[in-house]
Amino acid sequence: MDERLTAPAGAEHLPPPGGAGSDPGGSSPDGSASLDDPRLLQILSTEHWSLLSARSLVYNEAFARAGMFLTFLSASLVALAFVANAMSFDRQFLVLAALLLFVDIAIGLATLGRMLDASVDDLRSIAGMNRIRNAYVRIAPAVAPFLSAGIHDDSAGVLETYGDARIRTGLAAFIHGLTTAGGMIMTIDALLGAALGGVVAIFFGADGSGAFAVGGAAFLALFAILNRYAYGVVSGFERTYPSRFPTPRA
């Protein structure tokens, strides 16, 4: 009897009798795909390009948010300068200046928070691509000398992909943080806090030196708080992100 007459309907769409993991040379004994599976390279390449696209979107959003904040800040300060000429720096002007600076700080803090989230997303994408490169090296060990990026998904591996395998600490880490886009926005936010503190001090009768002292204290306090927050966001990601392929100890 013809086997096609006894087969159930739709049998032509079912996997072969040996199951999904029965293809020779493409599966491990437990039925899961091994590194020899020819489909694995295509899957890894697709994931790699997906992470590259995600990283590109993160960069575009971060710089767009920073540009929007700086544009709004510039426009608000120019408008404040025109109003100052008309209001002659009276108490009503001080109230208006304080409100406008408060709005600038609020937008700046929101921008900083989003940029820190974008930095974490960027770190996650880099760690994911390092894992994929680790698989590439396992599939074809001969390619290892030709890779310029890291193949380990811990902090040292991520920094190697950035181009510096050294983990900065102390003053070096602080200075490097100020050179980043997030560090720039953080410094601007602290300066706006200093300006707001000075304006409020003058409104309550302080002289020039008193307003300068209040502004300086506000800058230092806000700058320290924002630095601590930024460090907590990045270090929190490093603590919670599971490293599957850590850098070997020297």
Q: What is the pTM of this model?
A: 0.79
pLDDT digits (tens, 9 = 90+) for 200-235: 999 998 898 999 999 999 999 999 999 999 989 988
pLDDT, tens digit, 9 for 90 and up, residues 116-150: 999 999 999 999 999 999 999 999 999 999 998 99
SS3 151: coil
Task: Give the residue extent of every domain in the chain.
Answer: 38-240
SS (H, E, C) 31-88: CCECCCCHHHHHHHHHHHHHHHHHHHHHHHHHHHHHHHHHHHHHHHHHHHHHHHHHHC
Query: How do residues 65-81 score in pLDDT, each as one tens digit?
Result: 999 999 999 999 999 98
